[in-house]
A = this chain, B = another copy of it.
Amino acid sequence: MPIALHNDCFLRACLRQPTPHTPVWLMRQAGRYLPEYRATREKAGNSFMGLATNVQYATEVTLQPLERFPLDAAILFSDILTVPDAMGLGLSFGVGEGPRLAHPLRDEAAVAALQVPDLDRLRYVFDAVRSIRAALAGRVPLIGFAGSPWTLACYMVEGGSSADYRLVKSMLYGRPDLMHRILDINAQAVTTYLNAQVEAGAQALMVFDSWGGVLADGAFQRFSLEYTRRVVAGLRREHDGQRVPVIVFTKGGGLWLKEIAGCGADVVGLDWTVDLGHARAAVGDRVALQGNLDPMALFAPPEVVAREAVAVLERFGPPQRAGGGVDGHIFNLGHGINQHSPPDHVAALVEAVHRHSRLQRMPA
Task: Give residues of chain A (9-53) contacting chain B, Cβ–Cβ below 8 Å.
Answer: none
Is A215 in the interface zone, CB < 8 Å from B? Answer: yes
A169 to B299, CA, bound (A): 8
Is A273 in the interface zone, CB < 8 Å from B? Answer: yes
Shortest distance between the CB of A342 and any CB in chain B (Å)? 11
A238 CB contacts on chain B under 8 angstroms: none
Contacts A165-B296, A296-B164 given: A304-B174 contact, CB under 8 Å? yes
Asked if B217 contacts A272 (CB within 8 A), the reply is yes
A344 to B217, CA, bound (A): 25
Asked if B301 contacts A217 (CB within 8 A), the reply is no
> In this complex, what residue of B is CB-closest to A219?
B294
Is A338 in the interface zone, CB < 8 Å from B? Answer: yes
Contacts A299-B170, A308-B173 given: A273-B213 contact, CB under 8 Å? yes
Asked if A216 contacts B272 (CB within 8 A), the reply is yes
A164 CB contacts on chain B under 8 angstroms: 295-296, 338
A301 to B174, CA, bound (A): 6
Is A334 in the interface zone, CB < 8 Å from B? Answer: yes
Is A240 in the interface zone, CB < 8 Å from B? Answer: no
A94 CB contacts on chain B under 8 angstroms: none
When the two chains form the complex, which single residue of B219, B273, B340 contacts A220, counting CB atoms closer than 8 Å?
B273
A311 CB contacts on chain B under 8 angstroms: 218
Is A70 in the interface zone, CB < 8 Å from B? Answer: no
A348 to B34, CA, bound (A): 53
> In this complex, what residue of B is CB-closest to A304?
B173
25 contacts between A and B (CB under 8 A): A164-B295, A164-B338, A166-B296, A166-B299, A166-B338, A169-B294, A170-B296, A170-B299, A172-B296, A173-B296, A173-B297, A173-B304, A174-B299, A174-B300, A213-B273, A215-B294, A216-B273, A216-B297, A216-B334, A217-B272, A219-B294, A252-B252, A254-B254, A254-B255, A255-B274
4 nearest interchain CB pairs? A173-B300, A169-B296, A170-B299, A216-B272
Given A165-B296, A166-B296, 6 more A-B residue pairs with CB atoms under 8 Å apart are A169-B297, A170-B296, A173-B296, A216-B297, A218-B311, A252-B273
